[in-house]
Amino acid sequence: MKRVVIVGMGFGGLRAARALAGKGLEVVLLDRQNYHLFQPLLYQVATAALEQESIAYPIRTMARRWRGTRFRLCEVTGADLEGRRVVTTDGAVDYDYLMLAAGCVTNFFGMESIERHAYDLKELDHAVDLRNRLFCSLELAAEEPAPERRRMLLTFVVVGGGPTGVEFAGALAELVRYLVPADYAELRGDVIRILLIEAGERLLPDLPKELQAYALDRLEEMGVEVLLATRVIGAEPGLVLLQDGTKIGAHTLFWAAGTCAVPLAAALNLPKANGGRIAVQPDLTVAGHPEVFVVGDMAYLEQAGQPLPMVAQVAMQGGEYAARAILKRERGEAVAPFSYWDKGIMAAIGRNAAVVYSFGIKLSGFFAWLVWLGLHIFYLIGFRNRLLVLLDWAYCYLFHERQIRLITRSGKESPCR
Amino acid sequence: MKRVVIVGMGFGGLRAARALAGKGLEVVLLDRQNYHLFQPLLYQVATAALEQESIAYPIRTMARRWRGTRFRLCEVTGADLEGRRVVTTDGAVDYDYLMLAAGCVTNFFGMESIERHAYDLKELDHAVDLRNRLFCSLELAAEEPAPERRRMLLTFVVVGGGPTGVEFAGALAELVRYLVPADYAELRGDVIRILLIEAGERLLPDLPKELQAYALDRLEEMGVEVLLATRVIGAEPGLVLLQDGTKIGAHTLFWAAGTCAVPLAAALNLPKANGGRIAVQPDLTVAGHPEVFVVGDMAYLEQAGQPLPMVAQVAMQGGEYAARAILKRERGEAVAPFSYWDKGIMAAIGRNAAVVYSFGIKLSGFFAWLVWLGLHIFYLIGFRNRLLVLLDWAYCYLFHERQIRLITRSGKESPCR
């Protein structure tokens, strides 16, 4: 029986595994986590709207229903493409087909000071770290007598005007708006600053101008200070440095200004494009290795002169395409090139406020927000997660309450000091 | 305005704070966590039945309703009882009344090898660590070719036949029974051993003999090997050492065989009793310091010739008593000694199985299990937590599913290797 090894159980790997199951192939799933993570909602874990457990789903529970599939918890560190085997922290695994779908990590563009001091949001633990940091900032500020240090503790800098930066800034503004007056009497006279800094000329660059303007207006209405055409070039403890020489005193720096392929991509002797992504053929294989597919954020492919975006939809469609391509190849059928079907893009800004751009239709406001809610629930894995997220959202919406605001791990590595 | 400082927001501190709020005193709550933790359900977090967020409740959200109360996130490291001030990681805090309610930590009885290798269950992070360990053991075993090492990975040793040890062993047995056949095809031929080791002659020493026998029978039925009159004296990686020289190969050692007062008790120049607990007067104050109360697990007091047990009920009643005593003292009224009203004791063993001993009534089986469920829901703080726990339990009960079995933090400090 031929063996397909899938590296990474994100959106791409998951769709591929599902499509390959029960089709007479042996499918081996490799991931360094034992769960699939619904990354688009990480920012809600970071802002205490959702518990971490509700956006993750055990891989083995999914694989239970997939005949011929097994899972191994390990990290893939390299591959011998000629010998058709991947190298993992737990030994080598041979393959007949390989699907690389390990996603991306945050790109700090070589700025070490930012990498050292900034928070990012790619993994579940990142969200918990950031949540701990936010609530520690408030606790520290509540006890801080020196006005300058207090201002620094209450300044939150978000870098990157893409969906992650916009959604996080909006969620943080809402958190602060309702929570601080209720629970932090000590901070009632203070101004809490949330800065959203974007190097480009506008927020949400992939959206039409009206929706960009709507997002900007809403964020500013919610108290977020948006700085466009502004570049962050470094950080020190409690300080964010801008290219024009300005220094912003800020205890928390969240970096959502770029992504690049996971380190595994660099370990493979394959042609790379922008952000270390692996340049693939129109059928998502790598040149000279028709048995090696790369899907999702790890792959670089242009369509209609534009590189495919690093979004969940590309990964899902790529995973499904690659699975079908393998099955066709096995049956001796020809495989047409991958064609990405863009279903649209969206971002939530806050309560009753989102933007959706799909098939030329532009939506903003309450209805867009409902669409955003519905689609996120739909794409979540598992009935339990869907129910939990719905309840959490209803709870937040009705009671303006963020009860999950726990500062964990403060015993071992206190994020407060 | 006189100031009451409460150290620790467990069951005792919480009840005291609630009783003191809005009574014309300044109440300062100090805790090194920003949440109240419902410790009796920690073992369910460790066995992936509940998410960590559902058994914790933010202190500030409670304090919001308590007039005259404020919270500070800090660790109390000592006190100057003559000068009436506590020393914290965040400076000194003066008091007129002090209530020490910081609880207990695990007692390893000076056995460093056990302290180094064993897991315990006093804090939220402990539960997550233990959960990570359990699921890593299964993952490692699934990939392990050597039979002996495989057996070691699949052996779980629980030390301590009190409620925590019994409840954890039962929950683990149930987890393994339903989950492994469904999700770990690799382990279908293996025996998973759960050993419950108790130094005394019986489990649940505070219960009547019939209930002890019931618990033992049920656990054995569920596949738990119960070793009574057996003493664990040391541990090495993958090995548990018994007093009779036996070595048990086991990857996971959970220690629930003893508690002692938190280190803060040792830092105070006050008379100590068993387990480092502070010996208190019949009115829960310390000799010579009528303004210093000690409640809950930190305090040692005998009633009817027996020391008060280290259970939630004693802490709750002690906290309420101490609060009332302070209010009476302020009004110049006399204070009667503390009298513990024992409402009973109970332990859940598994699905439809628990033991309850209350006011001389002995219950076991399904009805006891319902009582256990109802009381735990009742004592949980917050509507959201109650709802979540109910849903989680219904989900586990109906679907035999443990979806929360995430291995977290494996990126930074992998519990797998």
CA pair distance B277, B270, nearest whole angstrom = 10
Residue B363: per-residue pLDDT: 94
Measure CA B105 to chain center.
9
The reply to whether residue A70 touches residue B185, judged by beta carbons under 8 angstroms, is yes
Interchain pair A34, B387: CB under 8 A:
no
Closest CA relative to residue B262, chosen from B388, B100, B390 = B100
Q: For residue A143, list chain B residues with Cβ-Cβ distance below 8 A.
A: 72-74, 90
| Res B70 pLDDT > 60 | yes
Distance CA(A210)–CA(A214), nearest Å, equals 6
CB contact under 8 A, B182 and A64: yes
What letter does residue A304 receive in the DSSP assignment? T
B contacts of A69 (beta carbons < 8 Å): none
Distance from CA of A316 to the nearest CA of B (A): 23
A412 has pLDDT over 60: no
- Measured between CA atoms, how close is B14 to chain A, in angstroms? 17
Question: Quick one: pLDDT band at residue B313, thresholds 50, 70, 90?
Answer: very high
Report residue A366 as tokens: 């309450």
Q: Which residues of B touch A388 (CB under 8 A)?
A: 388, 391
| N-terminal to C-terminal alpha carbon distance within chain B | 56
DSSP string computed for A146-162? -HHHHHHHTEEEEE--S
Name the percent of chain A lying above pLDDT 70.
98
Q: What is the mean pLDDT of residues B166-177?
A: 96
Q: Is the Cβ pair B70, A185 closer than 8 Å?
A: yes
Nearest CA in chain B to A60: B183
Over the stretch B348-378, which tens digit does the pLDDT of each residue have? 999 899 999 999 999 999 999 999 999 999 8
Can you give the pLDDT at residue A413? 43
- Verify whether the Cβ–Cβ distance A124 to B406 is below 8 Å: yes
| Chain B nearest C-alpha distance from A62 (Å) | 9
Task: Please say whether the beta carbons of B100 and B293 come within 8 A.
Answer: yes
A187, HSE (Cβ side, Cα atoms, 13 Å)? 27
* Residue B184: exposure state from Cβ atoms within 10 A (0-12, 13-18, ≥19): buried
- Across the interface, whether the CB atoms of B35 and A406 are under 8 A apart is answered yes
Distance from CA of A53 to the nearest CA of B (A): 6
Looking at the partner chain, which of A56, A72, A135 has a beta carbon nearest the beta carbon of B34?
A135
Q: pLDDT tens-digit profile of B91-114?
A: 999 999 999 999 999 999 999 999
If 0-12 CB within 10 Å is exposed, 13-18 middle and 19+ buried, where does residue B95 land?
Answer: buried
Nearest CB partner across the interface for B123, out of A34, A74, A411: A411
Mean pLDDT score across all residues of chain B: 93
CB contact under 8 A, A403 and B412: no
Q: Which residues contact B340 (CB under 8 A, 6 or more apart)?
A: B303, B308, B313, B314, B317, B318
Q: Which residue of B has its CA nearest to A124?
A: B408
For residues B158-163, average pLDDT: 97
CA distance B177 to chain A (A): 15
Q: Residue B110's CB: how many other CB atoms inside 10 A?
A: 7
pLDDT digits (tens, 9 = 90+) for A209-240: 999 999 999 999 999 999 999 999 999 999 99
Please list every residue in chain B whose beta carbon sits closer than 8 Å to the beta carbon of residue A387.
Answer: 391
Q: Tell me the per-residue pLDDT of A303-355, one tens digit each, with 9 for 90 and over.
A: 999 999 999 999 999 999 999 999 999 999 999 999 999 999 999 999 899 99
Of the partner residues B51, B384, B412, the one whose CB lies closest to the CB of residue A125: B412
- H/E stretch holding A214: helix A209-221
What residues of A are in contact with residue B34 (Cβ under 8 Å)?
135, 139, 405-407, 410
Cβ-Cβ contacts under 8 Å, A409 against chain B: 125
Which of B125, B401, B406 is facing A35, going by the closest CB pair? B406
Q: State the catalytic residue, choosing from A167, A174, A198, A320.
A: A167
- Comparing A99 with A392, which gets the higher pLDDT? A99
Per residue in A347-388, pLDDT (tens digit) is 999 989 999 999 999 999 999 999 999 999 988 888 888 888
Contact present, B59 and B31 (Cβ < 8 Å): yes
Average pLDDT (A167-177) is: 95
pLDDT of residue A410: 47
Q: Distance from CA of residue A326 to its chain's centroid? A: 28
What residue of A is the nearest CA neighbor of B180? A60
Residue A154: φ, ψ to 5°:
-100, 15
Is a pLDDT exceeding 90 seen at residue B4?
yes
The DSSP H or E segment spanning B326 is helix B312-330
The confidence band for A20, taking pLDDT boundaries of 50, 70 and 90, is: very high
Nearest CA in chain A to B407: A34
Q: What residues in B contact A102, CB-CB < 8 Å?
A: none
CB contact under 8 A, A52 and B54: no
Q: Identify the DSSP state of B53.
A: G
Please give, rounded to a whole number of angstroms, the shortest distance from the CA of A73 to a CA of chain B.
7
pLDDT at site B412: 37
CA distance B64 to chain A (A): 6
CB atoms A183 and B401 under 8 Å: no
User: H or E element: which one contains B355?
Assistant: strand B353-358
Which of A33, A34, A47, A122 should be substituted to probe chain B, the one whose Cβ sees the most B Cβ atoms within 10 Å?
Answer: A34
Calculate mean pLDDT across residues A50-75.
93
Residue A182 Cα, gap to closest chain B Cα (Å):
7
CA distance B132 to B408: 7
What does the pLDDT read at residue B40?
A: 95
Give the gyration radius of chain B's Cα atoms: 22
Which sign does the torsion angle of CA B408, B409, B415, B417 carry?
positive
Chain A residues with CB under 8 Å of B408 CB are 52, 124-125, 128
Instruction: Compare CB distances from B408 to A124, A143, A407 and report the shortest one's residue.
Output: A124
In b/e form, how buried is each residue of B385-404, taking b as 16+ CB within 10 angstroms?
bbebbeebbebbeeeebbbb
Q: Judging by DSSP bridges, how do beta strands A345-350 and A306-307 pair with one another?
A: unpaired
pLDDT-based confidence at residue A414 (cuts at 50, 70, 90): low
pTM of the model: 0.94
How many interchain CB pairs under 8 A, A with B? 130
Taking residues B128-132, report their average pLDDT: 94
Residue of A nearest to B185 (CA): A70
What is the C-alpha to C-alpha distance for residues B369 and B349, in angstroms, rounded to an integer? 8
Cα gap B369→A182, rounded to integer Å: 38
- Residues of B forming the active site: 167
The CA distances from residue B308 to A15, B88, B292, B303, in Å, are: 58, 29, 19, 7
Could you tell me the pLDDT band of residue B413, with boundaries at 50, 70 and 90? very low
- Residues B314 and A25: their CA atoms lie apart, in Å, by 61
pLDDT at B387: 85
Percent of chain A, pLDDT > 90? 87
Do residue A73 and residue B403 have CB atoms under 8 angstroms apart?
Answer: no
Cβ separation of A125 and B395 shorter than 8 Å?
A: no
**Cα–Cα nearest to A402, from A141, A219, A155, A182:** A182
- Residue among A5, A37, A30, A13 nearest A379 (CA): A37
* Residue numbers in B near A54 (CB within 8 A): 51
Cα angle A285, A290, A296 (rounded to 5 degrees) comes to 20
> Quick check: A80 pLDDT over 90?
yes
**Cβ–Cβ gap A53/B51 under 8 Å:** yes
Instruction: Tell me which residue of A150, A113, A156 sits closest to A248, measured CA to CA.
Output: A156
